[in-house]
Chain A
């Protein structure tokens, strides 16, 4: 049975408080002068987009840790962060699309390097999880996934760079409000939600790693594989082949 320590429970409690406060501030912050109430999705979109990249970075860190230390703790870190990363990357893309359609007229702006690299990252994460899932042997999965985790962390900035270059050379940049200064209540709401989402991420990461360790421990107590094979029953005794 999984038991959470006092520290874990404190983290979960703090997370709930932060989420509640973030939600309150998001709903009570003044609407944006241009985007009106559509801008409230900013309080979810920006934190999820940040966490998508953070989770990816931690997956890469876990991959490097496994390659050096060969301790499954690092592999559990990488795998758990990747799973949560898929969730937040998907949310970032979804909220970005919901925000983009009424404000800029398109669900997805290909000329935005951040959107393009987030979309690529989502697919890479999915491939990473598929690679882990289809490798039955957890040590082989750890070895292969760690290599992909490290290779991918080089590739994603390349996507950002190439799309950014495309935009600079072709000058199809759409106007974005990112550089605009935010009113203090909006900034406050954004920062609190950023903290809340970070706490959600660490809570989920901790829980997932505890679960992963429990899974490993259960498998490690398996009996010797060969003991599953026993002598077959005698056909004569069973009456096989009787008319």
Chain B
């Protein structure tokens, strides 16, 4: 893998996003709107909304975060993908660049959504913010890598968004299980046993590592499928 190539792809992806403003202008507001609808659907009962706050946050992060991956710049236009391939950039570097760009945008989405969750749901006070932060970051890494792999698997397909969503959801479930436990344990009312929360953090790290390795290893064979 080549750092220069990785940064080139990251830069291009973020440049396209800056112009298109799809994540900042569409996905994030839509995610916030979904967060707004949920307490209304629950009956605006403060105790209930407080209890489900973080659960809503992880669900919104999964459902809307995955969308970030299949809006990719270098995979969207086939001719651009061809030129990236012809440039000689190693497929693993191109994959890693796309993954990093997705991660940056996902962290942005999740940060804004977390703030929205705290404001709208008034979840239990956070006693261990560093653990929650670690959980958010590790969740974002895992989702970004899964979504990037799935995005590469579905290039050129009609109904790409629907198929990608169908594939990302179930594959990301271990992430949700682990991240939800980290989030809960980081609150005042959660279990603050260091052993407990550390175990879930390690589960997240394991999932992320497996995902990144799988993504890098499958980058070259996936490129062969482009035809």
Q: Separation in Å of the B58 CB from the closest CB of chain A? A: 14
Task: Report how many A-B pairs have Cβ atoms within 8 Å.
Answer: 81
Q: Does A120 contact B (CB under 8 A)?
A: yes
The distance in angstroms between the C-alpha atoms of A162 and B177, with both chains bound, is 7
Residue in B166, B178, B225 whose CB lies within 8 Å of A123:
B166
CB neighbours (8 Å) of B170 from chain A are: 120-121, 123-124, 127, 155
- Taking a contact as CB atoms under 8 Å apart, the answer to whether A152 and B181 are in contact is no
Q: Does B207 contact A (CB under 8 A)?
A: yes
Of the stretches A15-23, A128-136, A206-214, the one at the interface is A128-136
Of the stretches B23-31, B48-56, B76-84, B216-224, the one at the interface is B216-224
- Taking a contact as CB atoms under 8 Å apart, the answer to whether B166 and A143 are in contact is no
Residues of A120-153 whose CB lies within 8 A of B? 120-121, 123-124, 126-127, 130-131, 134-135, 137, 140, 143-144, 147-148, 151-152
CB neighbours (8 Å) of A159 from chain B are: 173-174, 177
- Taking a contact as CB atoms under 8 Å apart, the answer to whether B207 and A158 are in contact is yes
Of the stretches A97-105, A163-171, A177-185, A233-241, the one at the interface is A163-171
CB neighbours (8 Å) of B221 from chain A are: 67, 143, 147
Q: Does B134 contact A (CB under 8 A)?
A: no
The distance in angstroms between the C-alpha atoms of A144 and B154, with both chains bound, is 8
- Taking a contact as CB atoms under 8 Å apart, the answer to whether A166 and B171 are in contact is no
Residue in B149, B154, B173, B207 whose CB lies within 8 Å of A131:
B154
The distance in angstroms between the C-alpha atoms of A127 and B149, with both chains bound, is 14
- Taking a contact as CB atoms under 8 Å apart, the answer to whether B214 and A166 are in contact is no
Q: Does B199 contact A (CB under 8 A)?
A: yes
Residue from A127, A137, A169 with most neighbouring chain B CB atoms (10 Å) = A127
Residue in B157, B166, B196, B206 whose CB lies within 8 Å of A127:
B166
Q: Does B210 contact A (CB under 8 A)?
A: yes
A-B contacts, 28 of them at CB < 8 A, read A116-B173, A121-B170, A123-B170, A124-B170, A127-B166, A130-B167, A131-B154, A131-B163, A131-B167, A134-B159, A134-B163, A140-B227, A143-B222, A144-B153, A144-B154, A144-B222, A144-B225, A147-B218, A151-B171, A155-B170, A158-B174, A158-B207, A159-B177, A162-B173, A162-B174, A162-B203, A166-B177, A166-B181
Residue in B163, B171, B210 whose CB lies within 8 Å of A130:
B163
Q: Does A154 contact B (CB under 8 A)?
A: yes
* B177 (CB) vs chain A CBs: closest residue: A162
Q: Does B19 contact A (CB under 8 A)?
A: no
CB neighbours (8 Å) of A134 from chain B are: 154, 157-159, 163
Q: Does B169 contact A (CB under 8 A)?
A: yes
Contact of A140 with B225 at beta-carbon distance under 8 Å, contacts A127-B170, A163-B177 already known: yes
The distance in angstroms between the C-alpha atoms of A144 and B221, with both chains bound, is 9
